[in-house]
């Protein structure tokens, strides 16, 4: 169900990009430009997502000899999940976080900060690694990269719409056959970037719940990840990983996850809700084992 929801949201995001092209440029030409931009952005995200994200966080590759315990954990969980072992990276700094990236399981990477390795117990760290591997299995790294790129393109088009509106104010044509639609310009300038952000955030939150559940099943220990999330929530409020905000959906924890209406603009669900779902899943798994 979550996969269908995510596909629908991505389609809506792409349609929004095409629609903005129509309103800014006008007519069929605008639709074609929107489609071309969506295709180029999606292709670029698909191929370069891992390199861009790792560079943004200054992640450094780590060999099995440099971090034997961490690598063995990653290798064991990857074998259990029946996927190739991703490349392992470490992000310098004491902020506690982790992320996965890559266009598919054959080109994936898992990155952890120095802070998270020092903060968590073995069971907790295993839960975090399993969470990131689930993102890889579900190809969430690609989904989130595509969503972020399209949302960024929509914001750039909205910026272009501002310049188009200035041109119309100084004598430009408002005829749809020769120029942009003035009402469409207003929508593109103010509502489209907001809608794109809301859709992107919804996609991210949906994938986090799914990755939590996958990690619980992969480790057979939902409480390990629940305990890790509790510690990471406190740590993220004290010290966050510094990078481009566009990459925040990749992280396992975000200190700005809110409740109520503010949660609509958060890349992650409230941590307490994630913990509650994991503990509920633990009860379900226990009941099945006892049956």
Q: What residues are paired with 101 via a beta bridge?
A: 109
Residue 158: half-sphere exposure toward Cβ, Cα within 13 Å:
20
Report how far residue 265's alpha carbon sits from residue 254's, in angstroms, rounded to the nearest whole number.
Answer: 12
Residues annotated within a binding site for Zn(2+): 131, 135, 208
Report how far residue 76's alpha carbon sits from residue 66's, in angstroms, rounded to the nearest whole number.
Answer: 17
- The set of catalytic residues is 132
Where exactly are the structural domains of the chain? 2-290
Q: Tokens 């399209």 map to which residue? A: 150
**Which sign does the torsion angle of CA 121, 127, 133, 139 carry?**
negative
Cβ proximity of 251 and 98 under 8 Å? yes
Per-residue pLDDT of the chain in tens (291 residues, 90 and over written 9): 445 545 565 566 666 666 665 555 555 565 566 566 656 665 666 566 678 788 889 999 999 999 999 999 999 999 999 999 999 999 999 999 999 988 789 989 999 999 999 999 999 999 999 999 999 998 886 666 666 666 656 665 665 555 555 454 445 444 444 455 555 556 556 666 666 666 667 777 888 999 999 999 999 999 999 999 999 999 988 888 876 676 777 899 985 555 555 555 577 889 999 999 999 999 999 888 877
Residue 171: half-sphere exposure toward Cβ, Cα within 13 Å:
0
Residues annotated within a binding site: 131, 135, 208
Residue 248 DSSP label: G
Give CA separation, 20 vs 72, 82, 114, 186, 193, in Å.
48, 42, 42, 10, 10
């Amino acid at each position: 169900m979550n996969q269908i929801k995510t596909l629908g949201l991505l389609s809506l995001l792409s349609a929004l990009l095409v629609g903005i092209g129509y309103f800014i440029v006008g007519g069929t030409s605008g639709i074609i430009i929107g489609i071309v931009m969506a295709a180029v952005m999606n292709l670029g995200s698909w191929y370069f997502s891992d390199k861009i994200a790792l560079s943004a966080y200054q992640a450094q590759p780590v060999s099995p000899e440099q971090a034997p315990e961490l690598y063995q954990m990653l290798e064991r969980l990857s074998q259990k999940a029946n996927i190739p072992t991703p490349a392992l990276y470490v992000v310098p700094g004491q902020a506690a976080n982790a992320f996965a990236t890559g266009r598919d399981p054959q080109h994936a990477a898992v990155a952890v900060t120095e802070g998270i390795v020092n903060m968590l117990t073995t069971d907790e760290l295993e839960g975090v690694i399993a969470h990131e591997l689930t993102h890889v299995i579900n190809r969430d790294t690609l989904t989130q990269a595509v969503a972020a790129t399209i949302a960024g393109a929509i914001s750039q088009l909205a910026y272009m719409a501002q310049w188009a509106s200035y041109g119309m104010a100084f004598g430009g044509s408002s005829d749809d056959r020769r120029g942009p639609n003035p009402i469409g310009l207003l929508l593109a300038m103010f509502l489209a970037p907001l809608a794109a952000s809301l859709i992107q955030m919804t996609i991210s939150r949906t994938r986090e719940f799914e990755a939590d559940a996958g990690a619980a099943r992969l480790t057979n220990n939902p409480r390990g990840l629940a305990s890790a999330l509790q510690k990471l929530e406190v740590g993220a409020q004290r010290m966050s990983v510094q990078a481009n905000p566009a990459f925040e959906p990749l992280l396992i924890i975000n200190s700005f996850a809110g409740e109520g209406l503010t949660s609509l603009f958060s890349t992650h669900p409230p941590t307490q809700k994630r913990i509650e779902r994991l503990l509920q899943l633990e009860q379900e798994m226990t009941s099945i084992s006892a049956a």
